[in-house]
Amino acid sequence: MEKLLLVGFVVAGIILGTQANEYLDFNVTEIDRIEELEFGFSKYSSNLNPLMVGLTLIRGADSGAVCLDGTLPGYHLHRGHGSGANSWLIQLEGGGWCNNIRTCVYRKTTRRGSSNYMEKQLQFTGILSDKAQENPDFFNWNRVKLRYCDGASFSGDGQNQAAQLQFRGERIWRAAIDDLKANGMRYANQALLSGCSAGGLAAILRCDEFRNLFPGSTKVKCLSDAGLFLDTADVSGGRTIRNLYNGVVELQSVKNNLPRICTNHLDPTSCFFPQNLISQMKTPLFIVNAAYDTWQIQSSIAPTSADPSGFWHDCRLNHGKCTPAQLRFLQGFRDQMLRVVRGFSMSRQNGLFINSCFAHCQTERQDTWFADDSPVIRKKAVAIAVGDWYFDRAEVKLVDCPYPCDKSCHNLVFR
């Protein structure tokens, strides 16, 4: 039976995209409620006693590695043990982007732009859990969550002095890596760079660079969860997400920090889209993505700015209210996603889990990562699929049948 996860109200623009003026009126408490549902907490979770991990601030301000407001960036580290003592998992936090001065200034008043507002302790669930029954392959690794406070997927390097904004995502990345290497990561014999949403995009952008941090004898792979943002038209024929990304790339001086394998033949904004990167990467990559990604439906495909008549309003919030014509449009989006990964999936080293769910981020939430009723494709949960791929137990190329055939989904419904 299909599972529905009810979300109180939609503020996807402020959580992840911050495009529309009206979203700026939501207060931080309301944003927190939605982010908890998106990024790690759910009524389906079996984790009644989650691990809480403290925040470590990175003392790298002398290198200019600071959040949007100039405060120190940070991460949460839980040490590995036993067979995982020299294995490292780095999880890059998601949380969208800011593409103009107004939205970046707003982020300074949230944990997405200032460590002053970051939680001092964070729940480690899903791929970050320390319990073998919840995270069978990575529970005893050194597990790190790098906090996201720059608004450009750890890729900007500039500033706006008039607005007192620091765009230092690339420096945060480097300072965090240096700090973690000094704390033992340089001895890693296994490493996995992962991320969700904007962090999933960052994991793709940084993957080959991450591989080069380690000797050839170290097993290094990357995982992108809900990071396959498509360069697609919205319902009005406009290019909402391309315009958003163009603003991010230009404002935050991202160009010089994008992979050269892309920028040597495409414009910088195109190189912020994973579809122009994934087939050229040298490092093994696993992609986890919902075929009907709720963030992309709400903020890229059918945002309010592209739907002034409100025709898509109900469908945008609840797939059960989509008309046959709207479902056909969304099936077209799924088809585009499958075309994008076709060449990528032909490489034996890469992995894939594309399920036909209305969801966003499935590795950090316990219920969608590994639980009794987790989403599955061919009876394989996300955690098992990723583990089989990482440890070379099996080749994993799992693509679901089209909606509505999958009854194991934990679909998000907004109101």
Cite the active site residues.
197, 293, 360
Residues β-bridged to residue 195: 92, 224
Residues 235/306, Cβ–Cβ less than 8 Å: yes
The alpha helices in 252-381, defined as continuous H runs, are 260-263, 294-296, 313-317, 324-345, 366-369
Contacts of 13 (CB under 8 A, 6+ apart): 19, 20, 23, 298, 299, 303
Measure the CA–CA gap between 152 and 159, rounded to whole angstroms.
Answer: 13
- How far CA 37 is from CA of 34, 242, 364, 367, in Å, comes to 5, 27, 11, 11
Contacts of 4 (CB under 8 A, 6+ apart): 410, 411, 412, 413
The alpha helices in 274-323, defined as continuous H runs, are 294-296, 313-317
Residues 231/242, Cβ–Cβ less than 8 Å: yes
Measure the CA–CA gap between 235 and 277, rounded to whole angstroms.
Answer: 25
- How far CA 126 is from CA of 57, 84, 112, 185, 248, in Å, comes to 23, 17, 21, 22, 30
Measure the CA–CA gap between 382 and 132, rounded to whole angstroms.
Answer: 15
Strands 376-377 and 380-381: antiparallel
Q: Is residue 12 classed as helix, strand or coil in its secondary structure? A: helix
SS (H, E, C) 203-248: HHHHHHHHHCCCCCCCEEEEEEECCCCCCCCCCCCCCHHHHHHHHH
